[in-house]
Structure 1
Amino acid sequence: MRVIINDQQPRTTVPDTPPGDDPLLRLQQETEEDHPRIRFTTHPEPITIAGITVMCPACGARRDWMVICDVPGRLFLRCRCAHQWHEPELTRTDFDAMIDAPDRKYPTLEAVARDIGYDGTLTGAYFPQ
């Protein structure tokens, strides 16, 4: 009979961390990019593609959009009724021409929509420009 004794020291040691300090969250915050992965802007005017004004298929709205651009450069339109769809005819260049303010950071896209009124609570509302 052969007995194996493991008398090796562990290769790594876990440092003591104060309560409430999560090393993974800290690392994520330290390595987070300066620009968000999803960018957005609002566009109060109508959007026209190939001479046709974009209309929300859910409520019929023709202006006051939330324009969302993800990392691959795809653009999505979101209406105040919270209906959102991919608009393949719009490009990253179109988005860059529409953007009106520096990026604001939000934890989720739903938090953005709720904060700026595109979560369905303002369905049918149009604001003066």
Structure 2
Amino acid sequence: MFHRISRRRAEQEFAEIRRQHAEFLARVAGEPLHHAQPADPPAPPAEPGAVVDDFLPPELRVPSHDQVDGRAMPWAWPVVLDGEMVACAVCGTYRDWLVLSTRDQIWLRCRAGHQQHEPRLDTAWYNRHAGPADATHATFEECLRHLGH
């Protein structure tokens, strides 16, 4: 019984929508289309304006990815790849890394300053885990100081 009531209600709503649509089409059919009217002829080109370098002042500009040699982020936890914990090849440290992304390669740097290339990590992994850059540095040493290494 309730099925018949809800079905009848839906049919009535649909009939009302069809009626409103038919009224709309009848109204539109009698009106001219606004975009069919001929447009005004184009205005002659204005004199070129002054060329502006950029809207941001230089101190607020962020270098693009092709203007930096690499990026770095601290990684305090162990790096586990393929079920194996990555350790420094020289001193055996397995946590408190500095992860470096440069030239589509990922390098791990331990607190003691030993660096090793990690081929199992890629730039996509770095981009997924890195937060926004909070600073840019002119030299690698300045970056190390900034990150506390």
TM-score, normalising length: structure 1: 0.60
Whether the 8 Å contact between 2:87 and 2:93 is mirrored in structure 1 is: yes
CA drift at 1:101 = 3.5
Q: Which runs of 4+ in 1 moved over 3 A?
A: 32-35
1:56 to 2:101 alignment: no
Per-residue CA deviations over 1:67-118 (Å, capped at 9, x if unaligned) read 0101x31111101001011111110111112213325211111221133232
Cα RMSD, aligned residues only: 2.2
Q: Could you list the runs of 5+ residues in structure 2 that have no partner in the other structure?
A: 1-61
Task: Please state whether the residue corresponding to 1:61 is helix, strand or coil.
Answer: coil
Partners of 1:101 and 1:46 in 2: CA distance = 21
| Structure with the higher fraction of residues in helix conformation | 2
Whether the 8 Å contact between 2:97 and 2:108 is mirrored in structure 1 is: yes
Q: Which residue does the alignment assign to 1:34?
A: 64
TM-score, normalising length: structure 2: 0.52
Task: Flag the structure with larger Rg.
Answer: 2
Q: Could you list the runs of 5+ residues in structure 1 that have no partner in the other structure?
A: 1-31, 119-129
CA drift at 1:53 = 0.5
Paired-residue identity, %: 31
1:91 to 2:122 alignment: yes
